[in-house]
A and B are shown apart, each in its own frame.
Chain A
Amino acid sequence: MKFESQRVSYWFFSVCMLLFSLQIVYGFIMAFAHIGYDNLHSIIPFNTARATHTNLLIMWLLCGFMGSAYYIIPDEADRELIFPKLAYVQLIAFLLVGVAAIIGFHLNWWEGRKFLEIPRPLDYLVVVNVLLFIFLIGGTILKGKRFTTTSLVLFFGLLMAALLYIPGLIDSDNQTIDSYLRWWVVHLWVEGVWELILGAILCYLLIKLTGVDREVTEKWLYVILGFTFLSGILGTGHHFFWIGTPKYWLMLGGIFSAFEPIAFLAMAFFAINTARKGGRNIDNRIALYWSVGCSILSFVGGGFLGFAHTLPAVNYYTHGTLVTAMHGHLAFWGAYAMIVLSVIMYTMPHLTGKKIQDNAISYFAFWTSNIGMISMTLAFAVAGIAQVYLEKKVGLEFLVVQKELEIHFVGLVLAASLFSLGIGAFVYNFISFGKPCGNLLPRNRK
């Protein structure tokens, strides 16, 4: 670590750990409700648990992205963050808005639109908050001594993510228009601009961890992201099959989204190759595990499992079933949760000055959480496929089918317990690193 102001990242990451743990608690509430143990219904009905689970996810991921940017941008721009104190203010404000939203969900105060449940007045506060963040990192880049592709891609990814929040604020009386614009946020985030953030962070980590040549890495970054947008933008059409939009989306959405896995596959190949070439004498092996694991599981969860239900002939039956939940879990985990955890494992030794990353608990956390999440995906998959056949093909009543699926949710709870054990170990490890302190590196750059 080169600059004092980078330490603010630590506090963003601790908020990540907190919100992530809480997210898991709400996951269990829903899994138990699916089995029939809905004892909490009167205080936390299912829709509250769901909104809390998914919004906490988005909040901790955004918090992780911001923390990463506050670490990476000063390093890449080769200067201290401008107004470092404002970064702390921004974090506290972000947390306050988040807490207000979560409390709101428990009091039936929300906007009932999947993933965008945050009540409207708080939306505006989110926008202001993110503007402050963009100003801080943008200013740092502008005043910096060095412009790198990595930092520019990261910056534009974050800027576009903020701008794409705006279509979600447009109101309409027509449910179809509402849904159409909701996908501008949800799809163009995870299958569009968030991939800029993912790619840039991965690129940074690979450069730092393996010492590969920056020019080569950044060239491939452009190629991979070129594929992302070539397929991902018109690929939004895979959400416009059944919502009252014209028929041409069936073909356009089907074809373009079918190419989306290419970018993920390229990213995985690239990361594996780089790690092979440069991964021999590195001092933070566990961070490389997380980075390469991230590139692989984002292909499996996003690319492969996304492709599995993206063609209209398949999606006709799987649309809006637990098959979607299966894909959602592994994709979010592989692509975005794992990249944040990679950055955390990479930066913690620098932020705290303690080089304890290569311990048994780190590896336990890595394997247990990943095996747990893959098992959860399988549990959702079996439940989802059974649901599609019984409900959509055979035509049994929804609730009759759900009774038959309960056993798979018992499986889900078991798998989720394994997963949580891994995350518990990760959090324990995080705490053992201690508070941010320690010496700064001499200012020689790689």
Chain B
Amino acid sequence: MLSKSQAKLFFFLGTIICSLLFVGLTIDTFRKIPGLTHAENLTPSVARGKVLWEKNNCMGCHTLMGEGGYYAPELTKVYERRGEGFIKAMLTDPTAMFAGQRKMVTYKLTDQEKDDLVAFLKWIGEMDLNGFPPKPTLSQENK
């Protein structure tokens, strides 16, 4: 039967090998992220948009790239789906587009800030996400 020192060896070897592999893969991933996310399009406006996204915790209701709250629409492809005008209208007065529905916080954003958030969402929408979000395969419209 396995002895305690063998069990210990199994634990340490497994952990060390896997940790090293993980760090190695992380370094490789970090080298590839700029290409996959089109970092060349990451303008100062996009970066400011990201700060606003975080400062207001939009992720507490919405998912982005599938991460966040499950209370409000997934926003990864919202730029493609709704366009700039619609998004800005939402950020000005959420009840304008969806009256009587679930509530979104009404933000007091400047025009510049709205531009930044739109730029951020547009940039997210152009990333290579391995095909996420899925195309609805049972949709009547696709048939």
A45 touches B136 (CB 8 A): no
A219 touches B65 (CB 8 A): no
- In the complex, besides A45-B105, A174-B37, A176-B65, 15 extra interface pairs with C-beta distance below 8 angstroms are A47-B58, A173-B47, A180-B26, A219-B4, A222-B10, A226-B7, A226-B11, A233-B15, A243-B65, A243-B66, A244-B129, A248-B25, A252-B25, A321-B70, A325-B70
List of A residues within 8 angstroms of B137 by Cβ: 393
Q: Pick the contact of B61 from A46, A222, A229 — CB < 8 Å?
A: A46
A320 touches B63 (CB 8 A): yes
A235-262 CB mask vs B (1 if < 8 Å, else 0) is 0100011111111111010000000000
Give the 6 A-B CB pairs with smallest separation, nearest first: A47-B60, A395-B136, A320-B66, A112-B57, A242-B132, A395-B139
Stretch of A10-18, A33-41, A335-343, A420-428 contacting B (4+ beta carbons < 8 Å): A33-41
A176 shortest CB reach to chain B, Å: 5
CA distance A108 to B37 in the complex (A): 29
A177 touches B69 (CB 8 A): no
B70 shortest CB reach to chain A, Å: 5
List of A residues within 8 angstroms of B66 by Cβ: 242-243, 319-320
Using a Cβ–Cβ cut-off of 8 Å, how many residues does chain B contribute to the interface with A?
A: 70
CA distance A357 to B22 in the complex (A): 45
Q: Pick the contact of A226 from B10, B22, B42, B63 — CB < 8 Å?
A: B10
Residue of chain A at shortest CB distance from B124 = A175
In the assembled complex, B98 has its CB within 8 A of some CB on chain A: yes
List of B residues within 8 angstroms of A393 by Cβ: 136-138
List of B residues within 8 angstroms of A241 by Cβ: 130, 132
List of B residues within 8 angstroms of A394 by Cβ: 136, 138-139
In the assembled complex, A327 has its CB within 8 A of some CB on chain B: no
A233 touches B19 (CB 8 A): yes
B4 touches A218 (CB 8 A): yes
Q: Pick the contact of B39 from A111, A174, A236, A324 — CB < 8 Å?
A: A174
B131 touches A245 (CB 8 A): no
Q: Which of the listed residues A33, A215, A223 has the most CB atoms from chain B within 10 Å of its own CB?
A: A223
Chain A positions within 8 Å of B, measured between CB atoms, are 30, 33-34, 36, 38, 41, 45-48, 50-51, 108, 110-114, 117, 173-177, 179-180, 182, 215, 218-220, 222-223, 225-227, 229-230, 233-234, 236, 240-250, 252, 316-317, 319-322, 324-325, 389, 392-395, 398-399, 402
Stretch of B28-36, B85-93, B111-119 contacting A (4+ beta carbons < 8 Å): B28-36
Q: Pick the contact of B58 from A112, A222, A244, A316 — CB < 8 Å?
A: A112
Within 8 A of A (CB), among B85-143: 98, 101-103, 105, 124, 127-139, 141-142
Task: Tell me the interface secondary structure of chain A in the complex.
Answer: helix
Q: A113-B59, A229-B15 are in contact. Are A244 and B128 (CB under 8 A)?
A: yes
B67 touches A112 (CB 8 A): no
A174 shortest CB reach to chain B, Å: 6
Q: A110-B57, A226-B15, A244-B127 are in contact. Are A316 and B71 (CB under 8 A)?
A: no
CA distance A233 to B115 in the complex (A): 39
List of A residues within 8 angstroms of B64 by Cβ: 175
In the assembled complex, B83 has its CB within 8 A of some CB on chain A: no
In the assembled complex, B84 has its CB within 8 A of some CB on chain A: no
In the assembled complex, B80 has its CB within 8 A of some CB on chain A: no
A395 touches B129 (CB 8 A): no
Residue of chain B at shortest CB distance from A229 = B15
CA distance A177 to B65 in the complex (A): 13
A46 touches B73 (CB 8 A): no
B16 shortest CB reach to chain A, Å: 9
CA distance A151 to B27 in the complex (A): 34
CA distance A342 to B61 in the complex (A): 33
Residue of chain A at shortest CB distance from B142 = A395
B70 touches A322 (CB 8 A): yes
Q: Which of the listed residues B63, B70, B105, B137 has the most CB atoms from chain A within 10 Å of its own CB?
A: B70
List of A residues within 8 angstroms of B10 by Cβ: 222-223, 226
Q: Which of the listed residues B29, B55, B73 has the most CB atoms from chain A within 10 Å of its own CB?
A: B29
Q: A222-B10, A236-B22, A316-B132 are in contact. Are A46 and B60 (CB under 8 A)?
A: yes
